[in-house]
Amino acid sequence: MKYLQLLLLALIPIGLGSCEKKGGLQEGTWRGELNLSDNRTAPFLFEVKKTSLDTATFILINGDERVELPNVTFHGDTLIVPIIAYDAVLKGFVKGNHIEGKFIKNYIENDSGVTFTAVYGTSERFAPVTTPTNRKIDGKWDVLFVNEGDTTHNVGIFKTSGDIVTGSILTNSGDLRFLEGAYTNEGVQLSAFGGLSPYYIELNFTDDNHFEGTFYTTRGITKLVGRKNDAAALADAYSLAGLKQGYETLSFSLPNLNGNIVSLSDEQYKGKVIIVSILGSWCPNCLDEMAYLAPWYEENKDRGVEILGIAFERKNDEVYAKKAIGQLKERYNTTYPILFGGAVGKENVAGVLPELDNFSSYPTTIFIDKKGKVRTIHTGFNGPATGLFYDEFIEEFNTLVDSLLSE
């Protein structure tokens, strides 16, 4: 009997330890919210997969998009979720089936952060309403962000599957990526959070072919209006930027991640078709472009084509830039060089590429022929969230490169 009592006493700490571990971060689906302007929140879903007793991977869910955030740590009730791609972090405290914390941008000195909360076991981004509108948002829409003096037309593209609405809004500089939402009594609500900027959009139908709405971010709100239009299209992305009069070539010389100076006059670029991408590691549309270009380059580099990236980062700091660009290359297994151009800003792009006229967007992609002449420039990038627009870009891209290679 005494032996059994001692054995039971010895097992008690083990049992308590197991209970403590079970009371930690729960695996499965969570619903989070990030605070926005005007007392709105951007709901988002994420999945937690534990990789050890105190580490995990978070997977952000937006429509068809899945964004993996590895190297999550939790000690006791403290949770740290690094968002390496955007130099940001989610920091919080786990309290049973709840998380409370802040979304902090590391590159902003003393950033006070944005409040976020999360609840375990909820798989609905938006709670269903009892009497959703009978109108549907499926198809293409002309969308206008109602800013003072801005008359630029954008394109909304949406589809409904069951009770879920997905889609994106395309602009001349890129798209809002993977929006997901649901119908309300009068329209549609959509949100997204891929690790950088949380979005929330409220749309109310005024009739079958028109809506009015508000776009909420952490920085402010913007009114928008939409008109159903099956022929909705953006301005020609190849017509927005060009070279200044009298220029045909580019003449930059910039350091790669090893500190070696690279220019188009280097031997390896002579007689080849060259694609130059102006980008930033902080830019979601640039990441979408790299997700396409990196594997494309591996499949096509033996055809006589080269790619060069020129990155403009949040800080004009070589150490910071080397880390940010290095992480970007590792994420997408990118083997072509990415050069550091300096801090983000039109004036810095103009300093590195003085030949360029009307630069307006990251990414901007420049196509150069075998003789070193700039043949065309593409502004912005609409990624996989845009469906047929993304497919059209891929077809145009390959047709253009094939044409330059055949010369």
**Residues paired with residue 351 on neighbouring β-strands, in sequence order:** none
For residues 97 and 178, what is the distance between their CA atoms, to the nearest angstrom?
27
200 within 8 A of 190, measured Cβ to Cβ: yes
Q: How confident is the model at residue 36 (pLDDT cuts 50, 70, 90)?
A: very high
C-alpha span between 313 and 31 (Å, rounded): 32
- CA distance linking residue 204 with residue 185, whole number of Å: 9
Condensed to tens digits (0 to 9), the pLDDT of residues 230-272 reads 999 999 999 999 999 999 999 999 999 999 999 999 999 999 9
Cβ neighbors of 145 (< 8 A, separation 6 or more) are: 152, 154, 215, 222, 223, 224
Provide the pLDDT confidence category of residue 6 given band limits of 50, 70 and 90: very low
Counting residues of the chain whose pLDDT is more than 70, the rounded percentage is: 94
Alpha helices (H) along 2-146:
2-22
pLDDT at residue 14 is higher than 70: no
- In terms of Cβ atoms closer than 10 Å to its own Cβ (0-12, 13-18, 19+), residue 137 is buried
Nearest to 308 by CA among 297, 319, 321, 316: 297
Distance CA 121, CA 112 (A): 29
212: β partners: 204, 225
The Cβ of residue 140 has, within 10 Å, a number of other Cβ atoms equal to: 20
Report CA torsion sign: 250, 254, 256, 257.
negative
Question: What's the one-letter identity of residue 148?
Answer: E
User: Dihedral sign, CA of 302, 303, 304, 309?
Assistant: negative
Is residue 24 very low, low, confident or very high in pLDDT (cuts 50, 70, 90)?
Answer: confident
**Helix or strand holding residue 324 (H, E):** helix 318-332
Whether a cis peptide bond, with omega within 30° of 0, leads into 363 is yes
Please compute the mean of the pLDDT values over residues 85-101 and round it to a whole number: 95
Query: Bridge-partner residues for 356, per DSSP?
Result: 243
> Per the structure block, which two tokens stand in for 342?
């300096």
DSSP letter at 39? G
Buried b (16+ CB within 10 A) or exposed e, 44-79: bbbbbeeeeeeebebbbbbbebebebeebebeeeeb
Report d(CA 75, CA 280) in Å as an integer: 33
Maximum separation of any 2 CA atoms in the chain, in Å:
99
pTM of the model: 0.89
Can you spell out the DSSP letters for 200-248? EEEEEEEETTEEEEEEE-SS-EEEEEEEE-TT-----TTSS-EEPTT--
Reported as a single tens digit per residue, the pLDDT across 269-323 is 999 999 999 999 999 999 999 999 999 999 999 999 999 999 999 999 999 999 9
Question: DSSP 3-state assignment of 310?
Answer: strand
Question: Given pLDDT bands bounded at 50, 70 and 90, which one contains residue 152?
Answer: confident
pLDDT digits (tens, 9 = 90+) for 309-368: 999 999 999 999 999 999 999 999 999 999 999 999 999 999 999 999 999 999 999 999
d(CA 372, CA 357): 18
| DSSP3 helix / strand / coil % (the chain, rounded to 5) | 25, 40, 35
The pLDDT, as a whole number, for residue 149 is 64
Alpha helices by DSSP H, 82-182: none
What pLDDT score does 151 carry? 72
CA distance linking residue 393 with residue 383, whole number of Å: 9
CA 397 from chain centre, in angstroms, equals: 21
Which among 201, 155, 187 is positioned nearest to 62, based on CA atoms? 201
| pLDDT at position 148 | 59
Q: Domains for the chain: give ranges and CATH numbers.
A: 25-120 (2.40.160.90), 139-228 (2.40.128.120), 242-406 (3.40.30.10)
Query: CA 233, CA 48: separation in Å to the nearest integer?
Result: 39
Q: Rounded mean pLDDT of the chain?
A: 92
